[in-house]
Amino acid sequence: MTVDSTSQADLDARAVFDPDVFTTGAPYDALARLRRDTPVHRVELDGLPAVWLLTRHADVTAASRDDHGFSSSTGNTFVEVAAGDHSAMLPSLDPPRHTRVRQLINQAFTKRNVAQLEDRIRAIARGIVDRVVELGEFDAVPEISAELSLQVIAEVLGVPVEDRLSIFDWSNAIGSLGIEDPDYAPTPEALGEAGMAMFAYCNELLEARRGSAPREDILGALLAAEIDGERLSDAQLGEFFLLLAVAGNETTRNTLSHGILALSEHPEQRARVAAEPGVLLDAVEELLRWSTPVLHFRRTVTRDVELHGHSLSKGDWIAMHYLSANRDEAVFDRPHDFDISRKPGPHVAFGGLGTHFCLGAQLARLEIRVMLEELYSRVPHLEVTGEPVRLRSAFFHGIKRLPCTTEGSS
């Protein structure tokens, strides 16, 4: 990456997009200086359009709500993806097409449909806790965070037990797109093979479901969803299948991993979670704010606009930095303190507000709450025993390895 000068703001912006920085922790000081001094800052990234980094909560939320001024039509990452006319890939759609596709998919993700999953999620969580109690010493990322998110995704998608390992492997490969970490980045061949295999599997699953009695689950609701005679096509269902498998994996896995680390570092709050399950509704929101599992999303400027004295040109990119917005001193009291008693504020961990608010937000909240209830009721003194190994990525705020013990001190 190149910048126009070596000012402090340029150096700070460079740190924000440098994946190596995140291997030792997020650049909170750099983000704080940018919020204070240059909340809209131009960054030059090699081979890409100009990127304007937005770091204040007010600007991030305003841009998230402005579909006319900031388009999603070429995707929301630094990898350009143009959706086809009939695509159901919501992150790459603008209204009115986005609105219609989302209305169809929303029919599956009602509060009732999500709530019906709680008993099954709780059973999955209990099985995971049984496993870590048996192990005693374990890595919380694969044994707890990843295992829960992937099992729940398979449950939501109606994947038979014998096929779940394949879904896990494909979603992990596809979800690594854009991750700069050598432990995760797939080869182009592996990425292409995983995508084709997942689409082929989805087609087989849909054919089998249509040939059997209707089921009252989320996949069944997706198959039945209809607006004015329009239903989701097999291709659209395949796209959403892939999107949910990847997005659901990353968000829940990263939030839970950061949560286990934070509660180990704050034993008094861990004790409250173990003894007072009623605190978990607020605690989950604090974990989402604190962890911010996806660091930023991109939009493309559709018309020349002035923002904080800067001229943004049509075709420029903006990066809405959610981690920075969630640590904004103008919105959150003591933003760098982890506090599960904090009354939930307007955090933007689910991609900000507006059109692209995460469709699976309620499902993610349910997964995290149930897992924490089951884990700390059984293992109230769960402790992290070593330094976390953090993901080398400036896009996903992840932890790769987190050594733990169930025999923590009381």
Using alpha carbons, list the distances in angstroms from residue 52 to 45, 55, 63.
10, 10, 12
- Is residue 175 over pLDDT 80? no
CB 13 within 8 A of CB 21: no
- Is residue 6 over pLDDT 80? no
Question: Would you state the pLDDT for residue 363?
Answer: 92
Number of Cβ within 10 Å of residue 86's Cβ equals 11
Residue pLDDT, tens place only, 115-131: 989 999 999 999 999 99
Band the pLDDT of 388: cuts 50, 70, 90. Answer: very high
Q: Omega into 96 within 30° of 0, i.e. cis?
A: yes
Question: Would you state the pLDDT for residue 237?
Answer: 86
| CA–CA dist 367, 14 (Å, integer) | 35
- Is residue 179 over pLDDT 90? no
Strand partners, 311: 306
Residue pLDDT, tens place only, 296-332: 999 999 999 999 999 999 999 999 999 999 999 999 9
Band the pLDDT of 2: cuts 50, 70, 90. Answer: very low
Average pLDDT value for residue range 17-39: 97
- Consecutive H or E run containing 170: helix 164-175
User: Taking the domains of the chain in order of start, what are their residue ranges?
Assistant: 8-405
Residue pLDDT, tens place only, 188-225: 777 788 888 988 998 888 888 888 887 777 788 888 88
- Is residue 53 over pLDDT 80? yes
284: phi then psi, degrees, rounded to nearest 5: -60, -40
Question: Would you state the pLDDT for residue 1?
Answer: 45
Question: Under CATH, what is the fold of the domain 8-405?
Answer: Cytochrome p450 (1.10.630)
